[in-house]
Structure 1
Amino acid sequence: MENKRMRRRESFTCWLLMLGVFGLNELQAEENKTSLAQDPTHVDKNPEEPKTLKGYHRHEGQFIAMGTKHHLFNFTIIHVIDDVQACSYDKQGTQTIFNKAWITEALGKDYIKHKKEVNLSTQTYFNWLLKFLIRNDTKSDENHIIQLFADCELDNDIEIGSHVKFAMDGEDFIKTDDQDNHWTVMKPEAESFKSLAESNLGAKMREKAMKKYCFDMMRKILQYSNMKENVAPEVIVSRHDAPDGGVTFNCIATGFYPHSIQLHWEKGGQLGVWGQESSSGILPNADSTFYLHITLELPPGDSGTDYSCVVEHIKLQKPAVYPVPEKPPVKRPWGMALGLLTVIMLVLGCAGAFIIWKKKKTGPRTHEQATVDGDGSL
C-alpha cells in the first residue's frame, strides 16, 4: 500500500514538473498581464485591429535538455514558424536570439522581456524534470536527454490543432493532441501519470500555455510580416503512356514558399475521381522552399484527353491551370517498314545512277588499250 502511494506521489511530482514547462509560465504571464493592466503609465503601442492571416501556418517549439543527475550541461529552445527559425535560446549564452530584427518589433518590448524570463525559468523546470526522470540511474555520470516538441497550426487564422510530445533518450515517452485531450503512452514509465495528464487541471494549463506561447506568438509575428518572401511554384506536367495502354500523369510543383499548397486533377474543368491518385507529400528543398509531386493513374480505356493539373498557392492571384500534354502520335509498324523500304530504294537508285555516270565518263576502251592492259610487255 505504501509503495502504491509512493508511486502515485512520484508520478504526480513528475507531471507537475511537466506542467511547469507550460502552466507555471502561463500563470506568471497572467500575473504580468494583470500588473500591466493596473499600471496607469502602460500604453498599448499596437491598438489597431490585427489583420486576419491567410493560408496555412505552423509554429513548432523544440526544447532539448542534456545532463546527468548532478549537472545540466546544455539546454536549448528553438521556435520555428513556417519552417523558418524565428528565435532560439541556449544555456551557454543564456540569451534569447531573434533571427530577424523585425520580429522583436512584432512581438513588442513587453513580450520580449517576458519571453526571456520564461526561457530562464523553463530551463530550471527542465533541470528538475531531467533529474527526476533519471533519479534511479545507477550511473551518475551518464548523460541523458529529454526533449519536448510542441506545435500548433492555423488555417486562414482558424486554430486547427496543437500537439505535444515528450521523448527520453531518443525514445518517445508520451504524446497528445488537442482533439480530445487523449494522451498516448509510449513508455511504460509514463503510464502511472496518464490520468493526471488528462485531468481538467492538466488540460486547462496546457491550453492556456499553447494559446500564449504558440498561437498568439505566431499571430503576432505573421501579422507583422511573413517569415520570408512568398515564392510562386514552378510547375511541370507530363504524361506516360505504357505499352499496355495504361496512362499516368505527373504534376510537379517546386521552389514555392510558404509550404501551404493545393494540387488537384480536373477533367474538362470539372473535379472528380478519375483514377488512382498518389502524392509525395510536401517536402523541403535545400533553399528552404518546398516540393510536391502528385500522380494520377487512369483506368483502362481512358484515353487521357482534356485533363489538367490545377495549382493553388498564396503567391498566385488565382488557381493556375496546367493542361496535360496530348498523347503523342504512334507510328504504325507497316508505316515504319514502308519508310525503311523507301530509303533503301533511294540508296540503290543513287548507287545505280552513279555507276552509269562513271561508265559514261570513262567511255569505251579501244582494242589497243585492251591489248596493252592484257600484256604488260608492249
Structure 2
Amino acid sequence: MKGPFVPWLFILGVFVLRETQAALHSLETQFTGLAITNNLPDIIFNVWVDSQLLFSYNTQSKELLIKLGWAYPPLKNKLMERLNQQLQQGAEDDLRRFCTYWMVSYNETWEIQITQVTVFCELDGDIQVDSQMRVAFDGETVCQLDEHSEGWVTKKAEVTRFCKYLEDSVQWDRLLIEECPKFLKVVLDLFHLKENEPPEVTVSRQDAPDGRITLFCTARGFYPRPILLHWEKNGQMGIWGKESSSGTLPNADATFYLQVIVELQPRDPGEGYACAVEHHQLGTPAIYPAPRKVTRGKSWELSPSISITTILVLISAVTFIIWRKKDAWGHRTQERNTEEGTSSC
C-alpha cells in the first residue's frame, strides 16, 4: 500500500488555527469495512467530537453529511468540497485495499467480516493528553498503538505479521501526534458545537430494611463530556463499599449524564459522606454532602410533649361534645315537660 490512507482526513489544516479554548475535547475517527463473500468491502466513515457524531460518509451513497452543529457557509462549502475530492481521488481505494489485505491475512475463509480502524486524540486546551489507534476485527481489538508505546502492540499472537505490516507501512506516530490534534483544533474553530454547561448534581440516600445504606450521586445536563465524580468521607478519598457507575451517557440535547453509586459496608451509619464533582464549567471541585438518615418511629417516641398535647386536646374535644349533647338533651326534656303540662291544662 502506497503511503498512509488516513491523513487525507486532515486536509483541514489549510485553515488558520486559533488558540484552542481551555477545555477538554476529544476527536474520534472510525473507518468500518464490511465485506460479504468475495466482494470489495463497503466503507463507512464516521467522525465524533466530544462523543457526538459530526461527519458521516459511506461508499454506497457517496455522500458526506455533517450531522452536528453549523459552520460559516463559505468554510463549510470549502470543507465539503475538499473532503469529497479526497474521497473520489483514491481514498476509497486505499481503504478497501487495507481492509481486504487485513481480512485475507487474518481469515482466508471469511464470508462476512468487519474491520474497524479507530483513531482517537484528546486535547486540554492546546495540550495533548491522550492519543490512540486501534485495529479491530469483528469487534475485537487485535493491534493497538498509543503515545506511550514504542510501536504497535499485538493483542493476538496470530496477527503478529499483520501488526508488523502496519508498523512498517505508515508513519502512524505522526498521525497521532500531529494530524489528529490539528484536525480537532480545526473542527473546534469552524463548528458551533454545544455550549458548555455545568452539571446539575443531586445526591440521595436509600436505607434498606436490612440496614444496608446506598448513596447515589447523579450529574445531569453537562457539556463537554469529561467529568469526574467520586465519594469522600470526612474529606478523604477512599473505597467505602461496593461502587458502580452508569458510565457517561449522552442525552437527547447533546449534554451528558453520569451516576455513581456506592453501597456502604454493613454497620456503616452513612455519616460524613459527600460526592465530589470536577468539571470544566465548575472551575474548582464542588462538594455535595449526602443526606443524613431520616429517623422514623412512633410519634410518642419522637416527641412525648406533642403526644401529651394531642391527648389533652382530644380529651377537651370529647368533653365539649358530651357537654353539648347533655345540654341539648336537657333543653329537649324541658320542652317536652312544658308541652305535657299545657296539654293537661
- Give the TM-score taking structure 2 as reference length: 0.73
Please state how far the C-alpha of 1:207 moved relative to its aligned partner.
Answer: 1.5
Are the counterparts in 1 of residues 41 and 96 from structure 2 also a CA contact under 8 Å?
Answer: no
Mapped to 2, the partners of 1:25 and 1:354 lie a distance apart of 92
Please state how far the C-alpha of 1:255 moved relative to its aligned partner.
Answer: 0.9
Alignment of 1:23 with 2:10, yes or no, is: no
Are the counterparts in 2 of residues 309 and 323 from structure 1 also a CA contact under 8 Å?
Answer: yes
Which residue matches 2:251?
Answer: 285
Are the counterparts in 1 of residues 214 and 264 from structure 2 also a CA contact under 8 Å?
Answer: yes
Q: Secondary structure at the match of 1:128?
A: helix
Backbone CA RMSD of aligned residues:
4.3
Which residue matches 2:94?
Answer: 125
More deviation in 351-360 or 239-248? 239-248
Mapped to 1, the partners of 2:83 and 2:126 lie a distance apart of 23
Which residue matches 2:240?
Answer: 275
Mapped to 2, the partners of 1:187 and 1:104 lie a distance apart of 49
Q: Secondary structure at the match of 2:224?
A: coil
Alignment of 1:205 with 2:171, yes or no, is: yes
Distance 1:156 1:262, change over 3 A: farther
Which residue matches 2:185?
Answer: 219
Find the partner of 1:82 among 50, 53, 57. Answer: 50
Which residue matches 2:343?
Answer: none
Q: Secondary structure at the match of 2:4?
A: helix
Distance 1:322 1:358, change over 3 A: same
Distance 1:243 1:156, change over 3 A: farther
Please state how far the C-alpha of 1:192 moved relative to its aligned partner.
Answer: 3.6
Structure 1 unaligned residues grouped into runs of 5+: 1-15, 37-43, 373-378
Q: Percent identity?
A: 27
More deviation in 284-293 or 219-228? 219-228
Distance 1:251 1:138, change over 3 A: closer
Please state how far the C-alpha of 1:279 moved relative to its aligned partner.
Answer: 4.8
Are the counterparts in 1 of residues 5 and 95 from structure 2 also a CA contact under 8 Å?
Answer: no
Amino acid of the structure 2 residue aligned with 1:278: E
Aligned length, in residue pairs: 327
Find the partner of 1:234 among 200, 203, 209. Answer: 200
Find the partner of 1:96 among 64, 76, 81. Answer: 64
Find the partner of 2:155 among 179, 185, 197. Answer: 185
Please state how far the C-alpha of 1:290 moved relative to its aligned partner.
Answer: 0.9
Please state how far the C-alpha of 1:341 moved relative to its aligned partner.
Answer: 7.2
More deviation in 241-250 or 86-95? 241-250
Please state how far the C-alpha of 1:230 moved relative to its aligned partner.
Answer: 1.4
Amino acid of the structure 2 residue aligned with 1:309: C
Which residue matches 1:62?
Answer: 30
Distance 1:117 1:185, change over 3 A: farther
Alignment of 1:263 with 2:229, yes or no, is: yes
Mapped to 2, the partners of 1:79 and 1:319 lie a distance apart of 31
Are the counterparts in 2 of residues 252 and 292 from structure 1 also a CA contact under 8 Å?
Answer: yes
Are the counterparts in 2 of residues 59 and 82 from structure 1 also a CA contact under 8 Å?
Answer: yes
Structure 2 unaligned residues grouped into runs of 5+: 341-345
